Structure 1
Amino acid sequence: MLTFDRVSSSYEDSQVLFDLELEVESGTVTTLLGKNGMGKTTTIRTLFGITDKITGDIVLNGTRINGFAPHKIANMGVALVPEGRQVFPTLTVVENLVATARAKTAKERKLEMDKIYALFPRLAERKTSFANLLSGGEQQMLAIGRALMTKPKFLILDEATEGLAPVVRREIWMALQALKAEDLTILVIDKSLKPLCKLGDRHNILQKGALAWSGDSAELADPNSKARRCLSL
């Protein structure tokens, strides 16, 4: 689905990514790990072409997308749940979902929304509430639902459960497991290793804008592994 081949990028004159190598296989869940400031969010921004001086090759589903506008990349089936949720605060739950719907008819939109309400029953209960009146967890559910309304082939979540209550985190991890069972390709940035080990097929750790380690869940779960040493640095 996605390949970064020796990708570097900057913010003006400050380089953040350095010859990054990254692969996301179709139908799998891939994670991106590392301490704050190591380039995780910049990787996502680079994918969408909104950083500077991008070099190397970014290939999405067989197409080199360097230089593509963000909306064109989104139209290729990529949906982002951004850090901080960024829902439309003065729109209701229903209006937030309709705003990003790819379905053309009201009947199709209803079917898509019903799937999201089944995934997140809380949203069904709050469908007429304005987004700014939802809890942080409900807003994150809405942000995921809004992304799913675009019928993506590739879902990206930046800080999927950061700052959320444990019960809400569990609901989101369960929803992602359900989406994985549907063979949706998912890239997740998060810091919760235990649920990521259960969910993820392949894990990647960034250090100072480069790939420091890549491996499977068994290696990531091992407290004596290179992966854990990389995360502690």
Structure 2
Amino acid sequence: MLIFDKVSAGYGQSPVLFSLNLDLPSGAVSTLLGKNGMGKTTTVRTIFGLTSRITGDIVLNGRRINGLAPHQIARMGVAVVPEGRQVFPTLTVVENLIATSRDETARARSAAVQAIFEMFPRLEERKRSYANLLSGGEQQMLAIGRALMTRPRFLILDEATEGLAPTIRREIWAALRRLKEEHYTILVIDKSLKPLSKLGDRHNIIRKGELAWSGTSDELMRPDGEAMRLLGV
């Protein structure tokens, strides 16, 4: 689905990624882990062409996407749930969802909204509320719902559960497991190793802008393993 082949990128004159190699296969859940400041969010921004001086190749479904505008990449089926949620504060829950819908008919849009409500019943309860009146957890659910309304082929979640109450986090992890069962291609960036190990098919650790480790869930959770050493756990 998505391949990074010796990708280097940064901001202005400040490099962040250095010959980064990643292979995120279709229909699988991949994770990107690492300590703060190691380049995880920059990797996501680079996928969308939001960093400068990109070298190497970024290939999506066999097509090199370096140099494409963010809206062109989004139209290829890539959707991101960004760190910080970034919902439309003065629109209602339903209006937020419809705003990102790619369905052409009102009937199809309504069905897609209802599917989001089935995944996140809390949102249906608050469907007429403005987004800025929702709790942080509800806003995160809404951000995920908005991304799904674009009918993505590749879904990226950047710190989807950070700072949320345990009950909300469980609901979000359950939703991601459901998406996995539906064979979505997903990249998850998060710090919660236990749920990630249950969800992910392949895990990648980035260190100082380079791929430092890649392995299975069993290898990730090995107490004396390389992954735990790199993560400082």
Structure 2 length as normaliser, TM-score? Answer: 0.99
One-letter code of the match for 2:195?
P
One-letter code of the match for 2:215?
G
Is 1:106 matched with 2:110? no
Q: Counterpart of 2:59 in 1: which secondary structure?
A: strand
Which residue in the other structure is 1:194 paired with?
Answer: 194
Q: Counterpart of 2:103 in 1: which secondary structure?
A: coil
One-letter code of the match for 2:41?
T
Q: Counterpart of 1:140 in 2: which secondary structure?
A: helix
What is the Cα deviation at residue 214 of structure 1?
A: 0.3
State how far apart, in whole Å, the 2-side matches of 1:157 and 1:150 are.
14
1:80-159 → structure 2 map (5 Å cutoff): 80-159=80-159
One-letter code of the match for 2:112?
E
State how far apart, in whole Å, the 1-side matches of 2:222 and 2:171 are.
25
1:211-230 → structure 2 map (5 Å cutoff): 211-230=211-230
Per-residue displacement from partner, 1:56-85 (whole Å, max 9, x unpaired)? 000001100010000000000000000000
State how far apart, in whole Å, the 2-side matches of 1:110 and 1:80 are.
22
Root-mean-square deviation (Å): 0.7
Which residue in the other structure is 1:209 paired with?
Answer: 209
State how far apart, in whole Å, the 2-side matches of 1:25 and 1:160 are.
21
One-letter code of the match for 1:177?
R
Which residue in the other structure is 2:18 paired with?
Answer: 18
- What percentage of residue pairs aligned between the two structures are identical? 71
What is the Cα deviation at residue 223 of structure 1?
A: 1.1
1:151-170 → structure 2 map (5 Å cutoff): 151-170=151-170
Per-residue displacement from partner, 1:131-179 (whole Å, max 9, x unpaired)? 0000000000000000000000100000010100000000000000000
State how far apart, in whole Å, the 1-side matches of 2:231 and 2:211 are.
12
State how far apart, in whole Å, the 2-side matches of 1:91 and 1:223 are.
46
State how far apart, in whole Å, the 2-side matches of 1:157 and 1:44 are.
9
Is 1:30 matched with 2:30? yes
Which residue in the other structure is 1:175 paired with?
Answer: 175
State how far apart, in whole Å, the 1-side matches of 2:121 and 2:222 are.
35
State how far apart, in whole Å, the 2-side matches of 1:230 and 1:5 are.
22
One-letter code of the match for 1:22?
L
* Unpaired runs of at least 5, structure 1: none
Aligned length: 233
Structure 1 length as normaliser, TM-score? Answer: 0.99
Q: Counterpart of 1:132 in 2: which secondary structure?
A: helix
Q: Counterpart of 2:211 in 1: which secondary structure?
A: strand
State how far apart, in whole Å, the 2-side matches of 1:143 and 1:31 are.
19
State how far apart, in whole Å, the 1-side matches of 2:207 and 2:139 are.
30
State how far apart, in whole Å, the 2-side matches of 1:124 and 1:223 are.
41
